[in-house]
Amino acid sequence: MNVKVKRILMIGLSVSILNKLRHRDDIEVYAIEEEEICKNNKLDQVKNPVLKKLILAKYLESDEYVEVVKKMNDELHFDGVLPARDYSVRATAKISEILGLPGIGAENGKILTNKCLLRNACEKYGIPHPRFKKINTIEELYEFYNGNPLIFKPATLQASIGISKIAKESDIKEAWERTTNANEISNNMVSRKLNREHIAEEYVGGTEYSIEALVKNGEIVFTNITEKITYEETFVERGHIAPANLDIDLRDMLIKEKKNLIDKLEIGSALLHSEWKVYNGQPYLIECAARVPGNYIFELIEHAYGFKFIDTYLRILSNDEFEIIEENSKVSSIRFFNAKPGLIKEIAGIENLLRPEIVDWSIDKNIGDVVKKVNSSWDRVGYFIVTSDNHNQLEKLCQDILNSVEFIVE
């Protein structure tokens, strides 16, 4: 029997996503990538059985890719468009709408890649959110400060880059310098000038969760709630637990708010990864992205629920049949190793990472490398992923491993 091959357009090129799809013999992936990003990451050397072709074209705040894709589509007739990363969501949303394929819509592509526009949408639709203001000058930041702690951050960057907490008025000058001078690491960005905006928000305390929802034609077909563990000062993630250990009332409240967000934005078909703070029993939307969640949350979901999460996402975007397991049979967690700033002299306890409960691990630094203070996701030294039957066992396992692997620095 001949199997119809589906042709998938990937905006941006993600090796991790390709690896999650490599078992498929019924798809061809055509990836659009910026020339600079391709060169910096040697993406032209990527080999994967599903990757048919890599095409170079500008898509970051550029429509150059649109005509390129239109010409390709005349010949190939794409079946779905997949965003490879946060910075390609806007382009993905626009081209999927042009081609009449499942997606979030061009307008939502703008809203879900700019925190200022997202806050405006929250205000318009009555979605709970912190007090906020788009900030253009340091004087506006001083004016917005009212004595309560603030978060000041870039509105168009990912990976917790440039986030500053302002606890008192005297923090404002340093926060302004730090946040407005923040930028993505060079490998992930182009050198040409791109739009940069900044936003200040009233700090919301409490526990942070993310909700991962697969949406098909406006209807939620799967949800997972992940607990987020962060560094106090920089809010960079130091761990995630999926699914979170929640009582049913809080879970239902979070899912209700997520459904309201999806309904109000009129999301079509997507994977929505939204971050929420729960303070005094009230959820507040912090951020929302329409792409595969970072920090290996997709791996946690696959280990906890037992189905191919990213493959299912692609099947939704390409109008294909899919199967979902709604209830988890395991719990899983990722933790990022603790390491003090300094020059690494020794990494002790690596043998403890061979335990059977550890399904994946990576150490990204070697002896002689410099460890920086964790100011963004890119400063972390490595991670491990574990699974267990319950949350208590999971937490004990994580702490045992964190205590047994040591980065000795000077």
- Cβ contact 331:242 at 8 Å: yes
Residue 152 to residue 198: CA distance in whole angstroms:
7
Give, in words, the CATH class of 131-202.
alpha beta
Q: How confident is the model at residue 182 (pLDDT cuts 50, 70, 90)?
A: confident
> What residue spans in the chain does CATH classification 3.30.470.20 cover?
207-329, 332-409
DSSP string over 350-386:
GGGGG-TTEEEEEE---TTPEEPP-SSGGG--EEEEE
For residues 19-29, give the mean pLDDT.
96
pLDDT digits (tens, 9 = 90+) for 305-323: 999 999 999 999 999 999 9
Q: What is the pLDDT of residue 1?
A: 53
Q: Is the pLDDT of residue 379 over 60?
A: yes
pLDDT attached to residue 384 = 97
Q: What is the DSSP letter of 319?
A: T
In this prediction, residue 101 carries a pLDDT of 98
Q: What percent of the chain has pLDDT over 90?
A: 89
Q: What is the pLDDT of residues 164-180, one digit of tens each?
A: 999 999 999 999 999 99
What's the pTM?
0.93
- pLDDT tens for 41-88 read 999 999 999 999 999 999 999 999 999 999 999 999 999 999 999 999
| Distance between CA atoms of residues 132 and 150, nearest Å | 9
Query: Is it the case that residue 354 has pLDDT exceeding 80?
Result: yes
Distance CA 39, CA 14 (A): 14
Instruction: Return the pLDDT at 135.
Output: 98
Q: In the CATH hierarchy, which top-level class contains the domain 332-409? A: alpha beta
For the record, the structure tokens of 65 come out as 């890719």
pLDDT tens column, 197-253: 999 999 999 999 999 999 999 999 999 999 999 887 778 889 999 999 999 999 999
Q: Where are the beta strands (DSSP E) in 243-397?
A: 270-279, 282-289, 331-336, 342-348, 358-363, 370-371, 382-388
Whether residue 332 has pLDDT greater than 60:
yes
Fold for the domain defined by 207-329: D-amino Acid Aminotransferase; Chain A, domain 1 (3.30.470)
Task: Tell me how far CA of residue 97 lies from CA of 94, 106, 216, 218, in angstroms.
Answer: 5, 6, 15, 15
- In this prediction, residue 378 has a pLDDT band, given cuts at 50, 70 and 90, of confident
**CATH class of the structural domain 6-88:** alpha beta
